[in-house]
Amino acid sequence: MGPTGPTDRDGQNWHGQGGQRRRGSSAGQLWSWIIIVALVVTLIVVERQRLAFLFGVLIFVVALLTSVMLHELGHFATAKKFGMRVTQFFIGFGKTLWSTFRGETEYGVKALPFGGFVKITGMTSADDVDVADEPRSFRNQPGWQRIIVLAAGSFMHFVLALFLLFVLAFAVGQPSTNTSLPGTNVISSIAACVPASVTKLNSTAPCAGHTLGKSPAQIDGMRPGDKIISVNGTPVANWNQLKAALKAQQAGVSIPVVVERSGQDVRLQVKLAAIPKRPVPFLGVEPTVGFQRSTFLGAWGYAGDQFADTLTSSGSAIARLPSAIPDLFSKDRSSTAAGQVSSVVGVGEVTGDVVQASLPWQAKVATLLGIVASLNIFVGAFNLLPLLPLDGGHLAVVIFERIRAWFSRLRGRPDPGQVDIQRLVPVSLLVFALLVGFGTLLIAADIFNPVHLQV
């Protein structure tokens, strides 16, 4: 699911990059890639005929590429800070589309935008390194520096997630049940009927069975998105004021109600209905959920709480991955563990659904920020799993080396040195194959049996 693959730093070992310095592809190859992307975009537009959906997908793609760049920037910046020799910084895998040299480092973009990598000289004991470069190789640096470089990618994911959650609380706001907030007098939905009782009104299916007819809001032409600004001459600015104004009216009597629609005031004549034992005459509208912004410190507190909750749920999701496989193609996938995991294709589909949905802008932005933040937390946690060739696998190797060296010192023996990485290659290849296989299966499930966000 993560945007960074198992070959973040030493992708050259699996992608055949070696130590070659490529000058990039020709202009013709670059234009071929641009044409392919344009064709894919055109096909999506033709199939979906929903520009809002496409815009949502593009938002996710940009967020994904930004996450990849920040992940690799974490490895790159810390390696440079400690004086290690960094020869490549690339976004994507496969054939090089464009590259340029700045000093000893080649920066570029490759054809397959499914991750990225930073190439640091001497990542493992198996790498061939010139004698002149050995002092600046990764393997020749203190253990604490290598740990920082390896953990920096996930750290950047976590920082980005915390920042997005802070922006959500501080700049956008959180959904609130406070009906005194401005804007709650905007109609979110229209009731189809007048329920026969207060019990039916508060049920999940108020219009099932016997009703007292259509709702006044429906009969008199109110629409979702209308902002009620006065009831029988009484100005209203929120849901509480609207309820108070309605309570002062009599059911069965036609009264003027003014709504703001598309920037214009529209005057309607509405005859309120009566529901037995309900003190407030029934209009048949639902309020828009208000969004309340947090203070600066409160927003950071919210970000921390949400980060901890999402990290816990990400751990649960990772643990449920094996059990999710049998249900990936089941009809009730959304109600199983398979409905809680998704590939980048599935998450992109969800972001498109959110942007296309008829929701207030705050709800859309808050949902999108939450999705991107959750994705980064999941990817950051997943990359720290102690499995080669993930970041966490390399971290585990370095930590094992330092613990082994400490025990050797206690026993008066010399440092055994680095782990022979060649002995771990079969395990690394097996994990890599499992990740690719599960990722491919998950993408197929998201294409043929997608889970849609209910918005």
Catalytic residues: 72
From the list 257, 251, 248, the residue with the least C-alpha distance to 187 is 257
* Identity of the residue numbered 163: F
Q: Is it true that the peptide bond before 389 is cis, omega within 30 degrees of 0?
A: yes
Query: What does the alpha-carbon distance between residue 211 and residue 188 come to, in Å, rounded to a whole number?
Result: 22
Burial (0-12, 13-18, 19+ Cβ within 10 Å), 412 = exposed
> Which backbone phi and psi does 151 adopt, to 5 degrees?
-85, -10
Residue found under tokens 């992307």: 37
Cβ proximity of 125 and 51 under 8 Å: no
Query: What does the alpha-carbon distance between residue 23 and residue 31 come to, in Å, rounded to a whole number?
Result: 16
Report CA torsion sign: 425, 430, 436, 438: negative
DSSP letters for 419-447: --GGGGHHHHHHHHHHHHHHHHHHHHHHH
Q: Which pair of tokens denotes residue 54?
A: 């496409």
Query: What does the alpha-carbon distance between residue 369 and residue 166 come to, in Å, rounded to a whole number?
Result: 10
**C-alpha neighbours within 13 Å on the C-beta side of residue 185:** 24
Query: What does the alpha-carbon distance between residue 363 and residue 348 come to, in Å, rounded to a whole number?
Result: 17
Between strands 264-271 and 254-261, the pairing is antiparallel
Query: What does the alpha-carbon distance between residue 416 and residue 401 come to, in Å, rounded to a whole number?
Result: 8
